[in-house]
Amino acid sequence: MGRFLEHSRVYWFEADGEASVYLGSADLMPRNLDRRIEVLTPVESARARSEIGAILDSAFADTTNTWELGPDGSWSRVERKGKKQRTHQEAMMRRAQRRARRGAR
């Protein structure tokens, strides 16, 4: 939970050290795939892939809003007791602010 609604459409596949990265317009749900036209495009720029990787790393490092999907299909909140509180949204806001300051120079 946070200030912003998050619906990332990033698909990252990796095998033998080779990554394939895609951005899409929809999450993979029947209502999106069966009754709509959706697009998926590869990310070919190494710089853009690196940027997307950093964003995903930030999302996975979140210690306050983490849920895990179990083998039975149920979701459970991951307890992060004893870890420093870190939220992905706040990290992304700080990142955007740093970039804006650099661009203003």
- pTM > 0.85: no
Hey, CA dihedral for 28, 30, 34, 37, is it positive or negative? negative
> For the chain, which residues make up each domain, given as ranges?
7-44, 61-105
Output the pLDDT for position 1: 59
| Residues in contact with 42: Cβ distance below 8 Å, sequence separation at least 6, in sequence order | 20, 21, 22
Hey, CA dihedral for 56, 21, 3, 101, is it positive or negative? positive
What tokens appear for 13 in the block? 């596949």
Q: What is the pLDDT of residues 46-72, one digit of tens each?
A: 999 999 999 999 888 888 878 889 999
The parts of the chain modelled with pLDDT lower than 70 are 1-7, 105
Instruction: Answer for the pair 10, 52: CB distance below 8 angstroms, yes or no.
Output: yes
Instruction: Answer for the pair 81, 102: CB distance below 8 angstroms, yes or no.
Output: no
Query: Nearest Cα to 2, choosing from 52, 57, 66?
Result: 66
